[in-house]
Every structure is written in C-alpha cells, then in structure tokens.
Amino acid sequence: MKFEFLKEEPHGTTKAFFLSSAVWMVLGTTFGFIGAIQLVAPELLANIPWIVFSRIRPMHTNAVIFGFVGSGLIGCAHYLVYTLLRSPLYSEKIGKLTVWMWNLAVVLGTLTLSWGYSQTREYAEWIWPIDILVLATLALMFYNLFQTARRRQEKLLYVSVWYVFAGLVFTFFIYFFGNAVWNPATGSITGMPDGILAWFYGHGVVGLFLTPLAVAIAYYVIPIACRAPLYSHTLSLLGFWSILMIYTHIGAHHILQAPTPTWLKVIAITGSIAMLLPVSAVLVNLWLTMRGRVANMHATIGGKFVFAGILWYLLTCLQGPLQSLPSIQKVTHFNNWVVAHAHMGVLGFSGVIALGGIYFILPRITGRSLHSEFLAEMQYWLVLLGMAGFFTVLTAAGLIQGHGWLQGETVYRMLPQIHIYMVLRLAIGVLIVSGAILGLYNIFMTLYGSRGKEGLS
Amino acid sequence: MKMTPSLIVGGSVAIFASVLYIAVLLPWSTTTREPSDIFRWRTPLEERGRQLYVNNNCSVCHSQFVRPIDWGLGAERIAQAGDYIDERPHLLGTQRTGPDLSQAGGEHPDDWHLAHFINPRYVRPESLMPNWEFLGMENIEALIAYVQSLGFKMADYRMERQRYWKEKAIEAYEAGTDANVAWLHEMVPEPWRNLPNPYGTTEAGLKRGQRIYQSFCIGCHGPIGDGMGPAAPYLYPPPLNFTTLKGRGVSGGILYYYIMNGITGTAMPYFKRELESEKIWDVGNYVATHFIGETDAGQPPKGIEASYEPPPGEYPYGVSRLGANER
C-alpha cells in the first residue's frame, strides 16, 4: 500500500485528528508522569537535560492542550460542521494538510522545548516559527470550514456550529496577540503589561479554544444520545454571546496579587463571578434537555464521557469564580490547588468531552462499532478515577502549602509536608497514562484493525 | 436572532477587538514606564543568565513578585510596577515549588549558588529543584550573575556586604583554627557569647535537633559534623569542622546566634526565617553533644526554669548532667 500524504477519503480529516489526539494523549500524559516523578524523587532522572522538570512541564501542558485535547476537539469540530450543515467538507486535501501541520507544530514545539528553546510564558512557550505554523494551520482550518459553511444544504446553523466558528476566530486572534508574534525574539511585550497580555492569553487559550469546542460537542452529542430536542434556543443564544463577552475579560485574575492596575483586577474578579451566567445558561439548557433521560446518555460510551465531562465543567466553573476572590486566593495562589483546578478544566472537562466526541463519532464514520467497548469503559473509569484522585490529592496539597505559607512557613519548609501527596499523585498518574494507552490501542484498532464488527450496533 | 456564519464571525471579531482594547491596550497604555527606586539596568552577563532562566522555564517553580501577605525570602519589599519596566518576557510566575526570587540577589554568596546549581540538595537537602550541572560552568556563572542581580539596587547592596565579609572570613580562616574561632567568637555580641543553652539535653530534644540538622545542615557540615558534606568542595571558606571545637568555649548562645543570623560572606545562611527559637536551640544542642563533644545545655544562669522541663537526672529519663560533669 502506497502512503499518500494528503490522501482523500471520506471523514479522512476527522479520523486523522482522532488518531493524533490518541497519540498525544499517551505522549502528553507520559510527559506529565515524568514531571511527577521528579517532584517525588528529584535525583532519579538527574542531569538528563531534555526531560528536566522545567522543560518537561511545558512539554506536558502544550502537548495536552494542543496535541491531545486540541486535536480531539478539532477532529470532532470538522465532523460537526459538515454533518450539521449537510455538506461534505470543502476539501479533504486541505483538511489532511491541516492535520499534518498541526501535528508538526506540536512535534516541533515539544522538541524545541526539550532542547531548551522557550519563550517561557505559560502555554505560549513555543518559539516564533511554531507560533506561525499554528496560526497558519488555524487560518487554513477556518478557511476549509468556512467554505464548507458557504456550500451548506442546511440553512439553519445549529448552536454547535456557532461555537466552532467563534472558537476558531477567538483562538486565532488570542494566539496571535497573546504570543506577540510581531516580536519574534521574545514573543512578548515589556513589563507588567506583558504579564497582563500573557494572562489574557493564558486564560483565554483554554477558555476560548478548548471550552467552545467542547461545549459544541456537548450540544451535539446530548440531544442525539438522549433522543430529545434541545431545551431552549434562547438559552443557547444567551450562553453563546455571554461567554464570548465575559470569559475574555478575566485573565488578570491570575495576577491579582501582583502590581496589576486595580481597576483591571476589579474587572477580572467581577467578570469571573459573572462567568456563572454563561455557564449556567449552557448547563441548564443541556440539563433540561437530558431531564429524565440520563439513562439514555449512559447507553453509549461516547454519551457517558460527555455526561462526565459536563459534570466536571460544572465543578470547574463553580470553583473558578470562587478562587478568583482575593480572600480565597490568599490561600490558594501559587500552590497545587491551582494545578488541581487546571487539570479539572483541561482533562476533566474538555479532555473527557473530546474522548466522548471521539467515541461517539467513531462508529458513525467507520460504519462499525468500536474495536472494544470494554476497553473504552476501562478508559472511562481510569480517567475518571484518576481525575477525581488528582483533584483530591492536589487540592489537599495546595491547602497545606497555602496555609503553611500564610502562617509564615517558608516554601522549603513546606516541601516535606506535601511529599506524600506528590507520591499519591504519581501513583494516580499511572491510571491516567494507562487510560491513554488503552485509548490509543482502541482508537487505532477501530480505525485500522480487521476485528471490528460490521454494521452500526 | 438568526445566526449566520458572517454574524458569528463578525460578532466574534467585534467582541474580541473591544475586549482587547479594555483588557490589554488600556492597561498597556496606562501602566507606568517610570523605574522604581530600586531599579537598575542589567549587565550583559546578567542578561545572558536571564535568557537561560527564560529558555529553561525556571518560572514554572519560581515566582518573581512579593505580595503583601508574604513571609520568607525577599519579603522585605512588596513588588511595584516600576520594578518590571525591563522585563521582556515577564517572569511573574504562577507557582512556588521553589521560593520567590524577586529579592534573591545577595542572599547567598556566589559559591553557595555554584554548589546549589550543581546539585541543589548539596546545600538544601530537601529541595525538589533539578540539578543544573549539565548546563556547564559558563552557563551556570551567567545564571548566578542573574540571580545575584534580582532585587536590583537592593541586591547590589547585599552583594557588596557579601564581598566585604567574605574577605574577612577568608582572612580569619587562613589564619588557622585558633584565630578563626577567636574571630567568630569576637563577632558575636557579648550577651550571646556568655549565654548557655537554656534547655537541658533530652533524648527527644536531640532527636528533633537531628531531624533539623538533616534538613538544613548536613549538605555542608556532613553527617558526622566534620565539614565534609557534599557541598564542601565548592565552598570557600569551607564549612566549619565541629569536631575540632571541643574546649574552645563554643557556648549554646554562640551556636544559636550563628544559626539564626548566618555568617554573611560564607555559605552559612541565616535560618531565622525557617526555624523558630526551640528548633534552633535543639539543633545547636545536637551539634554540641554529637559533634563538638560538650554542651552547656541546662547550665546556669537559667533564671526561672521552663515549666515543661523534666527533672535533672539520668539521661534519657531526665535532663542530662553531661555538660556539667565534663566541665
């Protein structure tokens, strides 16, 4: 069989993004695992430059955000757009090209970080050439999907489609400005404004890239899985426009305790509290769609993942506004509490929904059931238990650190106090990495294995 | 509302533009570009060190701003916007797995930093920081120069003090053990010099002292107190060898004073931020009984005895009379 770089096949782009997501989930979680080892036993992997903790941590965060969750959500987004608009993808060739470019960006980003080239601002660590590659890929993706929308058979745009397009537009601009691509050498501006810009980006790249795409998938999967119409168009509109207006303002809550202008802190805090509005609009809408039909959601593994994902969304979005309050940040800032929160947003919410989307869509594009429902169930429980364990352990460690510091203990004195939590976190990491490996095997075999049963069950 | 592709894209762009104006451009155009009172420009070597700090993402564990609620390293000065006018990219950081570094310059002399970069556990046995030996000496020197510049003029002042006392400490060390000990005694204020450790020796106290010794002291002074810990080859003057101090009049007060305040200029840091009173007395007594071989713990003048102290008797059941007998 000849390998074709831009092979055109039905759903080819979606499939390729799914496979990329599965591969990056294994790599990204493994990077995290290697980092976690170093927080338990700093000498075990000493003097290996390319996996030293401070390099592997951004390798982990970027591979997970862009590689695992990003690819999974983008793959689903392509499928949603051409399915909901009843029109084939404008160009599978461009689609495949974007798959390769996206993966090339994550590979190069990972390698350059590992070699010690970094611009160091969180989630904007990748150096300039990779930023350009990411932006070019996003632009090409937008072009491909927008052309699909222009050729659509379905006149009405379903809410998932709104989120996909808004997500792509916001991601492009926030990536462009956030990485300060007009300053190739540093990828930044100067002084406190750079902190403000960097957190406008750092907050937004999760909230305006991962969140809209994950919400798009939830809006798509839930009515189908429940066999019920969406509860309310008005709530959809409210949730959609309000998240775009509010989420964007609040990045400065990451630097509330720094010399940030006070009025900006006020905007960031009030905006963070106001986030309860878009979140409850979306969740109430989805919840009432599912009312009395939660069992239907759990009839398929895809639906199960999506349901779990929106539960984590609820928890994340209750915790988020809470921890933006200065009186709470006094304890929680700078410690593992925030790490727990970040995992809840990226793995618990958007990562789990990406997996849900993949498992929901895979049988529909391959025309046969998953290679193994059992392995997918296993992965579901491994990821959920892992996520719940992470959250508990890291939150506990964070509270211990935070209260210790507040009482005048130094950072060094608190390290032995959190050691056991770092050990537990490493152990729990085994669950998540094994879940990722099962997922890769299952997704690969579903796409390319010969054992799959014919016909959609 | 009829949702069309152009409405969604146009609306998104319009919202993005207005938020960018409010949340980024307005603060950008109104934030001060005036340097603060401590600001100074960095030297080329310090800049090179900063680039290494950037490339290796040191800010994933080290913040660079002191908050009004902070204790610990650098908490003498709360961060001001004018401290950051030359930060590109910003290195504010979001985690403290290591200490805040905004005032790290001059807290330790360069040789302490060298040992610390080679292997942080040489000088901080419970540290989680990675070893940076692989960067090579030239890069480590640049990193040290950068760390020593953190705090700008405040760091420069501290560095000057480090250099001044290093010269004195080396002079005393090179004059031989007698002269060195005499100099060290002389540098301790009179009342401390004559102060015995007010608490008697108990097994529990020695155990606590040992635990503290292992967390803070062992890397330089070594497991048997001979000054031959793994950090020793990097440090000059070298760590004090406690085993040669018997009969030289090292009182509990002298030990306490140096653990509390450190010996600026040498790698001996001050520990008053990390250890409270009883911990310092305990580790001091551990050093005295185990390594020096004599202790004044529990000797008069004692004043009113602490209520919890066990009665004098045979160690470990009561307070030891070891020190008293040996004198």
A331, A406 Cβ separation under 8 angstroms: yes
Residues A411, B72: C-beta atoms closer than 8 Å: yes
End-to-end CA distance of chain B: 94
What is the predicted pLDDT for the residue at A142? 97
User: How far, in Å, are A63, A106, A144, A242, A418 from residue A164 at the CA level?
Assistant: 21, 21, 13, 16, 41
Spell out the domain ranges in chain B. Answer: 44-159, 176-326
**CATH topology match: B44-159 vs B176-326:** yes
The predicted pLDDT at position B65 comes to 95
Answer yes or no: are the C-beta atoms of A2 and A339 closer than 8 Å.
no
Burial of B178 (0-12, 13-18, 19+ CB in 10 A): exposed
| SS3 assignment for chain A | CCCCCCCCCCCHHHHHHHHHHHHHHHHHHHHHHHHHHHHHCCCCCCCCHHHCHHHHHHHHHHHHHHHHHHHHHHHHHHHHHHHHCCCCCCCHHHHHHHHHHHHHHHHHHHHHHHCCCCCCCCCCCCCHHHHHHHHHHHHHHHHHHHHHHHCCCCCCCCHHHHHHHHHHHHHHHHHHHHCCCCCCCCCCCCCHHHHHHHHHHHHHHHHHHHHHHHHHHHHHHHHHHHCCCCCCHHHHHHHHHHHHHHHCCCHHHHHCCCCCCHHHHHHHHHHHHHCHHHHHHHHHHHHHHHCCCHHHHCCCHHHHHHHHHHHHHHHHHHHHHHHCCHHHHHHHCECHHHHHHHHHHHHHHHHHHHHHHHHHHHHHHHCECCCCHHHHHHHHHHHHHHHHHHHHHHHHHHHHHHHHHHCCCCHHHHHHHHHHHHHHHHHHHHHHHHHHHHHHHHHHHHHHCCCCCEECC
Interface test with B, best of A52, A267, A411 (most B CBs within 10 A): A411
Q: Considering only CA atoms, which of A9, A41, A274 is closest in space to residue B128?
A: A41
B53-80, pLDDT tens digit by residue? Answer: 999 999 999 999 999 999 888 788 999 9
A184 Cβ neighbours under 8 A, 6+ residues apart: A128
- Provide the strand spans (E) within chain B: none
Cα–Cα distance for residue pair B25/A139, rounded to 1 Å: 24
Contact A410 B124 (CB under 8 A): no
Per-residue model confidence (pLDDT) at position B237: 95
Paired strand residues for B95: A334
Share of chain B above pLDDT 90, in %: 85
CA angle B60, B63, B69 (to 5 degrees): 140
Amino acid in the structure at residue A72: G
Nearest-CB residue to B54 (from A42, A113, A118): A118
Distance (Å, whole) CA A9 – CA B63: 50
Backbone angles phi, psi at B42, to 5 degrees: -85, 155
Contact B22 A416 (CB under 8 A): no
Whose tokens are 């002292």? That residue is B209
Please state, as a whole number, how many other Cβ atoms lie within 10 Å of the Cβ of residue B279: 18
Fold of B176-326: Cytochrome Bc1 Complex; Chain D, domain 2 (1.10.760)
Specify the amino acid at residue A105: A
C-alpha B40: how far from chain center:
24
> Could you tell me how far CA B176 lies from the centroid of its own chain?
27
On whether the CB atoms of residues B28 and A196 are closer than 8 A, the answer is yes
User: Using a CB-CB distance cutoff of 8 angstroms, which residues of chain B are in contact with residue A49?
Assistant: 134-135
For the CA atoms of chain A, what is the radius of gyration? 21
DSSP 8-state code for residue B277? H
Contacts of A260 in chain B (CB under 8 A): 27
Residue type (1 letter), B303:
G
Nearest CA in chain A to B15: A245
Rg (CA), chain B: 25
For the stretch B179-223, pLDDT in tens is 999 999 999 999 999 999 998 888 889 999 999 999 999 999 999
> What is the structure's pLDDT at A106?
98
Distance CA B37, CA B15 (A): 39
The confidence score (pLDDT) of residue B32 equals 83
Which tokens is A275 given?
């986030």
Tell me the longest C-alpha to C-alpha distance in chain B: 96
Residue entry with tokens 């400065």 = A252
The CB-side HSE value for A192 (13 A sphere, CA atoms) comes to: 28
Q: Compute φ and ψ for A338, nearest 5 degrees.
A: -70, -35
> To 10 degrees, what angle do helices A276-290 and A262-274 make?
10
User: What pLDDT score does A2 carry?
Assistant: 65
- The neighbour count for residue A191, using CB atoms within 10 Å, is 22
Return the number of other C-beta atoms located less than 10 Å from residue A409's C-beta.
Answer: 18
Q: How far apart are CA A334 and CA B89, in angstroms?
A: 19
Chain B contact set for A415 (CB, 8 A): 97, 126-128
Bond from prior residue into B301 cis (ω within 30 degrees of 0): yes
- Under DSSP, the state recorded for B289 is I
Question: Taking CB atoms and an 8 Å cutoff, what residues of chain B touch A50?
Answer: none
Q: Do B15 and A244 touch (CB under 8 A)?
A: yes
- Please choose, from the candidates A117, A122, A103, A136, the residue with its C-alpha nearest in 3D space to the C-alpha of residue A60: A122
DSSP 8-state code for residue B196? P
- Dist. CA A143–CA A353, nearest whole Å: 25
> Tell me, what amino acid is at A24?
W
Which residues of B are less than 8 Å from A113 in CB distance? 57
Q: What is the pLDDT at residue B327?
A: 37
Cα distance between residue A350 and residue A312, in whole Å = 9
**Over 80: is that where the pLDDT of B314 sits?**
no
Distance CA A343, CA A328 (A): 19
| A chain contacts of residue B129, beta-carbon cutoff 8 Å | 42
Residue of A177, A259, A338 lying closest to B80 (CB–CB): A259
Q: Which of B7, B30, B31 to mutate to test the interface with A (most CBs of A within 10 A)?
A: B31
Residue B167 has pLDDT above 60, yes or no: yes
Nearest C-alpha in B relative to A409: B274
pLDDT of residue A229: 96
For B44-159, CATH gives: 1.10.760.10
Q: Is the dihedral of CA B64, B69, B72, B74 positive or negative?
A: positive
What is the mean pLDDT of the segment spanning B99-115?
Answer: 96
Chain B CA closest to residue A150: B5
Tens of pLDDT along B224-249? Answer: 999 999 999 999 999 999 999 999 99
Which pLDDT band holds residue B318 (cuts at 50, 70, 90)?
Answer: low
**Cα angle, residue A277 at apex, residues B9 and A218 outer, rounded to 5°:** 60
pLDDT tens for each residue of chain A, 457 residues long:
567 888 888 999 999 999 999 999 999 999 999 999 999 999 999 999 999 999 999 999 999 999 999 999 999 999 999 999 999 999 999 999 999 999 999 999 999 999 999 999 999 999 999 999 999 999 999 999 999 999 999 999 999 999 999 999 999 999 999 999 999 999 999 999 999 999 999 999 988 999 999 999 999 999 999 999 999 999 999 999 999 999 999 999 999 999 999 999 999 999 999 999 999 999 999 999 999 999 999 999 999 999 999 999 999 999 999 999 999 999 999 999 999 999 999 999 999 999 999 999 999 999 999 999 999 999 999 999 999 999 999 999 999 999 999 999 999 999 999 999 999 999 999 999 999 999 999 999 999 987 545 544 4
Contact check, Cβ <8 Å, A334/B8: no
- Name every chain A residue with its beta carbon within 8 A of the beta carbon of B72: 405, 408, 410-411
The answer to whether the CB of A160 falls within 8 A of the CB of A78 is: no
In order of their start, the domains of chain A are: 12-448 (1.20.210.10)
Q: Tell me: pLDDT of B81 over 50.
A: yes
Q: Which residues contact B51 (CB under 8 A, 6 or more apart)?
A: none
